[in-house]
Amino acid sequence: MGILNVTPDSFSDGGAHFSLDLALSRARRMVEEGADIIDVGGESTRPGSRGVSLQQELDRVIPVISAISAEIPIPVSVDTSKPQVMRESVAAGAGLINDVTALRQPGALQAVRDLGVPVCLMHMLGEPRSMQRQPVYRDVVTEVRRFLEERVNACKSVGIAREKLLLDPGFGFGKNLQHNLTLLKNLRTIADIGLPLLVGTSRKSMIGKILDDRPVDGRLSGSLATVVMALERGAAIVRVHDVAATTDAVRVASAVLAAD
């Protein structure tokens, strides 16, 4: 899964506009480099960030989803927590919902049930604005697993088929470095829930911290190490910025995992 951020900071022309052409060419390139899904996100969910308004998020993502789903041959997912954005994105061609709040916003469960598309449920402790203020767990692996199982049950109770669900432990979302490392090492415990796992560690601060505060643009090799470890522990999808390098790593790791 290739990440396509459509926030003004990622597609800025200096002002508040971003270019549809630039988004389209990035999507095309990720497909050439081996992406199987393009994840379009218009709300910054980085630690400390505030949300964006409904209209602002729609204005950012809908034109991009329409353009790329009409032109490129792979599914488009939308990284959103807002039911109205989910509805309009699927109408514009999105085939998957990626919700970092695991359908906890009012109306989100019903929206996904009505739309009939697959959905990724991610664990987050707290909310983006406050989540990195000293997160505390007694047992991070057990607590993330229980949370995801509770959201699977919430989906079941509104009539979302189990076959539509993907799960994600939510690296960096209300977790410190030790929490993230423990979760990755014990990812099998989350995979054992029995649903496909999506993992997003690409360029995240856990990698920067391990590598002595390496800036974002020097985190590729570290990101690839986490991808390989996640695949070995049963991850089905990796959400990444660097598609070409990740495709090579996934192909090599998969060949080894498929050997006798």
Residues that bind ligand YH5 (CB under 6 A): 45-46, 79, 98, 100, 120, 122, 168, 170-172, 198, 200, 203-205, 216, 239
Between CA 101 and CA 81 the distance in angstroms is 6
Task: Report yes or no: 159 and 151 within 8 Å, Cβ to Cβ.
Answer: no
| Active-site residue, from 204, 209, 214, 251 | 204
Between CA 204 and CA 241 the distance in angstroms is 10
Neighbours of 44 (CB within 10 A): 17
| Active-site residue, from 26, 203, 219, 239 | 239
Query: Closest approach of Cβ 204 to ligand YH5, in Å?
Result: 5
Beta carbon nearer to ligand YH5, 57 or 79: 79
In the complex, which residue's CB is closest to ligand YH5? 200
Beta carbon nearer to ligand YH5, 45 or 69: 45
Task: Report yes or no: 74 and 35 within 8 Å, Cβ to Cβ.
Answer: yes
204 annotated active-site = yes
Query: Closest approach of Cβ 247 to ligand YH5, in Å?
Result: 18
Beta carbon nearer to ligand YH5, 66 or 202: 202
Q: What angle do CA 241, 97, 35 make, to 5 degrees?
A: 35
Query: Closest approach of Cβ 229 to ligand YH5, in Å?
Result: 15
Task: Report yes or no: 221 and 207 within 8 Å, Cβ to Cβ.
Answer: no
138 annotated active-site = no
Query: Closest approach of Cβ 255 to ligand YH5, in Å?
Result: 26
Closest CA to 205 of 236, 231, 173, 229: 173
Residues annotated as catalytic are 204, 239
